[in-house]
Structure 1
Amino acid sequence: MQYKSIEVGRYLVSPMSKPTGDGGYTASVSIRSGQGQASHDRVLRFVPRFESRRAALRYAVREGQDWAQTH
């Protein structure tokens, strides 16, 4: 499941969560820059497991925003 994308400077941050087999969730985030054929998309997948989809998405948003603000 993907949450709404957020613009951070020149980056578009798109948090995502995915259910695990044990009832938890994983978090990841797509960080895109550029447009068209000149676009670049970086996907970060995180190790922590979360009890809810909402917690996973919140974590992905924070991590994506932190990454975009420092690069």
Structure 2
Amino acid sequence: MDTTLRVGKYLVSPLTRALGQGRYAASVSIRSGRGSATHDRVLRFTPEFGSGEAALHYATAQGLDWIGRTAADQAPACPVPVSHPLQTSKVTSWPRKN
């Protein structure tokens, strides 16, 4: 079963590992970039779970949380122009002439 999610520029891949005696560990790979600029962060979690499904759910939630998204917020947002309080409408060229 492929559980990989693409969220914006990130690829979130939750993983589980059987520990024995019916216990499971969870981890998640969070990848961004392409080619030689690829960055992959792997997070391993200390809680143990009674099922692979519970471990997978936890890893997915933690991965989405790490990139600042929630499962309900996976749809791409519509960009809205927001003016920054420090921006001015006046454009100056650099270097300024005195």
Superposed pair shares fold, TM > 0.5 = yes
Partner of 1:24: 23
Mean Cα deviation higher: 35-44 or 2-11: 2-11
Residue in 2 aligned with 1:11? Answer: 10
CA separation of 1:69 and 1:31: change in aligned 2, threshold 3 A: same
| Higher RCO (C-alpha under 8 Å, 6+ residues apart) | 1
TM-score (norm 2): 0.66
Q: For the residues of structure 2 that align with 1:35 and 1:4, how far apart are their CA atoms?
A: 20
- Identity among equivalent positions (%) equals 55
Structure 1 position 10, deviation (Å): 1.1
The structure-2 alpha-carbon separation of the partners of 1:3 and 1:60, relative to structure 1 and needing over 3 Å to count, comes to farther
RMSD: 1.5
Q: Which runs of 5+ in 2 are unaligned?
A: 70-98
Count of residues paired in the alignment: 69
Inter-partner Cα distance in structure 1 for 2:35 and 2:18: 31
Q: Distance in 1 between matches of 2:52 and 2:63?
A: 16
Structure 1: 5+ residue stretches without partners: none
* Structure-2 separation of matches of 1:60 and 1:42: 13
User: Match for 2:9: what amino acid?
Assistant: R
Bigger helix fraction:
1
Structure with higher Rg: it is 2
TM-score by length of 1: 0.89
Q: How does 1:29-48 map to 2 (within 5 A)?
A: 29-48=28-47
Q: Which residue of 2 aligns with 1:57?
A: 56
